[in-house]
Structure 1
Amino acid sequence: MAEIALGMWTSHGPTLSTSAEQWLLRVSADKKNRHPFRGEVHDFETLVELRKGEGLAEAVTLAERERRHAACQAAIAEMADRFVAAKVDVAVIMGNDQRELFLEDITPAITVYLGETIWDQPATAEQAARMPPGIHEAEWGHSPPERREYPCLPDLGTHVCEALVPQGFDLAVSKRLPEPAGHWSSGAPHSLGFIYRQIMRDEVVPNLPILLNTFFPPNQPTARRCFELGRAVGEAIRSWDKDVRVAVFGSGGMSHFVIDEDFDRMFFEALRNRDAETLCRIEDRHLQSGTSELKTWIAAAGVLFDTDLEGEVVGYEPCYRSEAGTGTANGFVAWQ
């Protein structure tokens, strides 16, 4: 039977694939947008006023941004080294889609990918021209320099579906990616591509992508539903009649596009204590915008809490880009 041998939770956002100077390319969008923060929604100027006592002016200096960027790169390298050392045969990746695959014509809550392979490639010049500032610059971190096909696990995906549908999980399935894409990128979502490129270092093992709609109301799965999904997927993996070592990933997070270090510390503590109820009780108003990607971490926790794996926080850096607290908190956890 299959053995779950490795668990990894990792951020995947643009701050990890752009320089400290390039982080500021996103500030113009920050100033235009309204941002969820601690259950409410604020404009940029209000956030600056709310957070004026936090010393963020120092956090956004170039020297501090460079220090945090370097720490993130060291953590990514450590995660990749641990992945190699674990010698896994296959992987299950809990990821999310941000209108890369699913557009407004249909947005499934949970999708299991059943294709034999999944492809990725760089954006075309026309797609790159449509990207917001700071996004194309990060593309190398999740898309290969040319089109590539990566092996997938349709047999495991089918086994997961056959196990979960009788339990009441209404799953969407997909056997191929759209061509041409309707979004500004093509191929695998960046939540998968980051794992392929930076954790697997382009040596991609056969993998099963499970994509959650974390971003787009009104059919976002709740935190509890994500955990229940993960627990059921874990049971299905362990009942899979294959003698393989499996890695399980949660790809996304942490708090962004407004950073909340207190929230992130609470989340780390819940992982450390295998505190499922704390994770399940997180309300949707606290899991919006980029922070919603932590639902992929919650789904992975549902798998991994039922194993005997243990681990630690490999790295955590709140990568601020403005005195409003905008940016991305990048976190990395490994259980072995």
Structure 2
Amino acid sequence: MARITAGVGTSHVPAIGAAIDLGKTGEDYWKPVFAGYDWSKDWIASQKPDVVILVYNDHASAFDMKFIPTFAIGCGERFAPADEGWGPRPVPDVIGHPDLAWHIAQSLILDEFDMTIINEMTVDHGLTVPLSLMFGQPEAWPVKVIPLAVNVVTYPPPTGNRCWALGEAIRRAVESFPEDLNVQVWGTGGMSHQLQGPRAGLINAAWDNMFLDGLIGEGDALRHIPHIEYLRETGSEGIEMVMWLIMRGALGPLTHCLHRHYHVPASNTAVGHIVLEPVTGD
């Protein structure tokens, strides 16, 4: 059967993608950001996952105020990079895994999650920056990707508890797929940041690191953090961290941390990154 072997959490700051695309990763400002991913690049090259279920949020590229799905799963064969106003990023198209994606969609809907099924869409920096951080600049991504978009842009976003429960349901769905696949789940976005208003530039390193701590081990207190705490402590865009909880929920009750990285600042936000593996007791 298919199995979830690891989870990855990472920020998806658009300026990181620009630094990669423009060859600025060696500059003094960016070196500490990318150094935190050196271990992860070596690790994922050794793991060779078949599929990544990549949880991210769209930034008004595929969706807008006309159409706001809370949870959307990409079931198509290919997803091109989006034009976010300055042309598409110079990265490969994302190749999907329709058989597994449709299986997950069916399983989640029968498990009483109201998923929106998307067969055609473009994918923006929320999805492509994490791929670049983990895989560099290949001619083709060395893994198939199932995009799972979460609304954290327009009120109301889903609760952390609902996201964690969705991760648990994804685990059940993957484990019921008969093909032998090495599957990872990535949660992206965050960490603390606010892009507008009097608190623009807010970064709360203590809260961010508390959140990273909470992903490790067997505790599930993070799933019960209310929206207002994210807003108060991490800024208006810090709510993106609920997407990491889908990844954490998919790993089961107990996790072990393989790698962790935190750096301030990158553009106007904090960069967080963690690699977890489930502890199954097998």
TM-score normalised by length of structure 1 = 0.71
Q: Do 2:61 and 2:82's aligned partners in 1 also have CA atoms closer than 8 Å?
A: no
Q: Which residue of 2 aligns with 1:264?
A: 208
Q: CA deviation at 1:122?
A: 5.4
Is 1:173 the equivalent of 2:173? Answer: no
Is 1:255 the equivalent of 2:192? Answer: yes
Q: Do 2:56 and 2:149's aligned partners in 1 also have CA atoms closer than 8 Å?
A: yes
Q: Which residue of 2 aligns with 1:194?
A: 129
Structure 1, 292-301 or 72-81: larger mean CA deviation: 72-81
Q: Which residue of 2 aligns with 1:87?
A: 48
Runs of 4+ with >4 A deviation: none
**Could you say if the C-alpha distance between residues 332 and 161 of structure 1 is closer, same or farther in structure 2, counting changes exceeding 3 Å?**
same
Letter matched to residue 131 of structure 2: Y
After superposition, the C-alpha distances for 1:132-175 in whole angstroms (9 at most, x for unaligned) are xxxx8xx7xxx226xx4321012111111211112221111110
Q: Which residue of 1 aligns with 2:147?
A: 209
Of the three residues 160, 176, 192, the one matched with 1:223 is 160
Q: Which residue of 2 aligns with 1:104?
A: 65
Is 1:233 the equivalent of 2:170? Answer: yes
Q: CA deviation at 1:267?
A: 0.5
Q: CA deviation at 1:121?
A: 5.6
- Residues 314-329 of structure 1: pairs in structure 2 closer than 5 A: 314-319=260-265, 327-329=268-270
Q: Do 1:234 and 1:304's aligned partners in 2 also have CA atoms closer than 8 Å?
A: yes
Report the 3-state secondary structure (helix = DSSP H, G, I; strand = E; otherwise coil) of the residue aligned with 2:123.
Answer: coil
- Residues 66-77 of structure 1: pairs in structure 2 closer than 5 A: 66=28, 69-77=30-38
Q: Which residue of 2 aligns with 1:283?
A: 226
Q: Do 1:6 and 1:309's aligned partners in 2 also have CA atoms closer than 8 Å?
A: no
Q: CA deviation at 1:248?
A: 1.3
Gaps of 5+ in 2: 20-26, 195-201, 278-282
Q: CA deviation at 1:207?
A: 1.4
Letter matched to residue 181 of structure 2: V
Q: Kindly indicate which of the two structures has a greater share of residues assigned to helix.
A: 1
Report the 3-state secondary structure (helix = DSSP H, G, I; strand = E; otherwise coil) of the residue aligned with 2:178.
Answer: coil
**Could you say if the C-alpha distance between residues 15 and 222 of structure 1 is closer, same or farther in structure 2, counting changes exceeding 3 Å?**
same
Q: CA deviation at 1:66?
A: 4.1
**Could you say if the C-alpha distance between residues 233 and 320 of structure 1 is closer, same or farther in structure 2, counting changes exceeding 3 Å?**
closer
Of the three residues 245, 249, 256, the one matched with 1:302 is 249
> Aligned partners of 1:334, 1:120: CA distance in 2, in Å?
25
Letter matched to residue 207 of structure 1: V
Q: CA deviation at 1:287?
A: 3.2
> Aligned partners of 1:111, 1:263: CA distance in 2, in Å?
29
Gaps of 5+ in 1: 20-64, 129-135, 178-186, 322-326
> Aligned partners of 1:93, 1:106: CA distance in 2, in Å?
21
Q: Which residue of 2 aligns with 1:242?
A: 179
Sequence identity percentage: 26
Q: Do 1:6 and 1:86's aligned partners in 2 also have CA atoms closer than 8 Å?
A: no
Q: CA deviation at 1:198?
A: 2.6
Report the 3-state secondary structure (helix = DSSP H, G, I; strand = E; otherwise coil) of the residue aligned with 2:143.
Answer: coil
**Could you say if the C-alpha distance between residues 164 and 152 of structure 1 is closer, same or farther in structure 2, counting changes exceeding 3 Å?**
same
Q: Do 1:110 and 1:172's aligned partners in 2 also have CA atoms closer than 8 Å?
A: yes
Report the 3-state secondary structure (helix = DSSP H, G, I; strand = E; otherwise coil) of the residue aligned with 2:40.
Answer: helix
Point out the structure with max Rg over C-alpha: 1
**Could you say if the C-alpha distance between residues 200 and 320 of structure 1 is closer, same or farther in structure 2, counting changes exceeding 3 Å?**
closer
Q: CA deviation at 1:317?
A: 0.8
Letter matched to residue 100 of structure 2: L
Q: Which residue of 2 aligns with 1:61?
A: none
**Could you say if the C-alpha distance between residues 109 and 151 of structure 1 is closer, same or farther in structure 2, counting changes exceeding 3 Å?**
same
Q: CA deviation at 1:313?
A: 4.1
Q: CA deviation at 1:13?
A: 0.3
> Aligned partners of 1:287, 1:77: CA distance in 2, in Å?
29
Q: Do 1:314 and 1:334's aligned partners in 2 also have CA atoms closer than 8 Å?
A: yes
TM-score normalised by length of structure 2 = 0.83
Q: CA deviation at 1:195?
A: 2.6
Q: Which residue of 1 aligns with 2:80?
A: 119
Q: Do 2:71 and 2:116's aligned partners in 1 also have CA atoms closer than 8 Å?
A: yes
Q: Which residue of 2 aligns with 1:6?
A: 6
After superposition, the C-alpha distances for 1:223-264 in whole angstroms (9 at most, x for unaligned) are 110000011001111111111111111111111122111211
Is 1:163 the equivalent of 2:100? Answer: no
Structure 1, 294-303 or 161-170: larger mean CA deviation: 161-170
Q: CA deviation at 1:9?
A: 0.6
> Aligned partners of 1:209, 1:215: CA distance in 2, in Å?
17
